[in-house]
Amino acid sequence: MNTTQTLNYCVTCPYPNPLASLRLFCFPYAGGSSLIFRKWFERLPTFVEVCPIELPGRGVQMKSAPLMRLEPLVSVIALTLLPYLDKPFAFFGHSMGALVSFELTRLLRKKYNLEPVHLFVSGRRAPQISNPDPPIHTLSEPEFKEELCRLNGTPKAVLDNGELMELLIPILRADFAVLETYVYAPEPALDCPITVFGGLQDSEVSKDELQAWHYQTNTVFSWQLFPGDHFFIHSAQSLLLQSLSQELQRMTINS
């Protein structure tokens, strides 16, 4: 398999929509896969083509080693996306996916003079705010599992399944390494609107940390909270997709 084919597997489009006027690229949280977004097309406007991103080490990218630093990860994704940016596009990212989509936006602007029409970030503090927690990606396996349990993102049935965890732990370690080694570099604010989503009971991200995203855009900023913890993306999915749909509809009216 050549490099181009391998890279193209980053972009999945389970339900192609050639008549769509907008592509929405969706970026998962740490340890997550493109399957998180597989059914989103059912709840979003028909003019949107939903294109979940599959990061190395999972799904159709299972045989690719997960990357442990943000810069090479974003560079790989940028090369993958270029053929798909022939029509207006937007990004949605949750938690780690929010940071990936933000830095990808900055890279596309810098290298290719391209920018999404809207950046949707979810469950992630603004990038200029340092991580207050000690790193966990280098912990021993028992300690690492304990932290995963505390974060409440990995179901107990999965944590208790030795075979599944054997597959999942290298991916999760790599993803946490991406987050925990990230160093923010100041750049001019983006020219696209930013909408931020958060969980009312999310102990990982405060309201102030969500609102601080407004420094990253020169244009419209908005934010909304939903019931639920850090993974409100699942527990409040209907409300989230309703709000996302309204924002996408508003974009088309205003464009």
pLDDT-derived band at 4 (thresholds 50, 70, 90) equals very low
Contact present, 202 and 229 (Cβ < 8 Å): yes
- Looking at the predicted structure, is the pLDDT value of residue 152 above 70? no
Nearest to 229 by CA among 123, 154, 93: 123
Q: Tell me: the pLDDT tens digits for 168-222?
A: 889 999 999 999 999 999 999 999 999 999 999 999 999 999 999 999 999 999 9
Cα–Cα distance for residue pair 27/176, rounded to 1 Å? 15
Q: Which residue has the higher pLDDT, 207 or 158?
A: 207
Stretch 10-17: mean pLDDT: 90
Per-residue pLDDT band at 14 (split at 50, 70, 90) = confident
Would you state the pLDDT for residue 216? 98
pLDDT of residue 53: 96
pLDDT at 8 (0 to 100): 52
CATH of segment(s) 3-129+184-254: 3.40.50.1820
Give the model's confidence band at 5: pLDDT under 50 very low, under 70 low, under 90 confident, else very high.
very low
Q: Where are the domains of the chain?
A: 3-129+184-254
Q: Which residue has the higher pLDDT, 181 or 63?
A: 181
Q: What contacts 24+ positions apart, CB below 8 Å, involve 128-136? A: 128/184, 128/186, 128/212, 128/215, 128/216, 129/209, 129/212, 130/184, 131/179, 131/180, 131/182, 135/176, 135/180, 136/176, 136/180
Average pLDDT of the residues of the chain: 90
Is the predicted pLDDT of residue 153 greater than 90, yes or no?
no
Q: Catalytic annotation on 222?
A: no
49 falls in which pLDDT band (50, 70, 90)? very high
Whether the per-residue pLDDT at 26 is higher than 80: the answer is yes
Biggest CA pair distance of the chain: 52
The pLDDT of residue 1? 32
3-state secondary structure of 48: strand
* C-alpha distance from residue 166 to each of 98, 141, 159, 170 (Å): 26, 10, 10, 8
Catalytic residue among 33, 34, 95, 122: 95
pLDDT given for residue 9 in this prediction? 63
d(CA 196, CA 162): 36
Whether this prediction's pTM lies above 0.85 is answered by yes
User: Is a pLDDT exceeding 60 seen at residue 51?
Assistant: yes
> Tens of pLDDT along 103-150?
999 999 999 999 999 999 999 999 999 988 888 898 888 888 888 877
State the pairing for strand pair 48-52/194-199. Answer: unpaired
State the pLDDT at residue 139: 87
Kindly report which listed range (73-87, 155-169, 170-184) carries the lowest average pLDDT score: 155-169
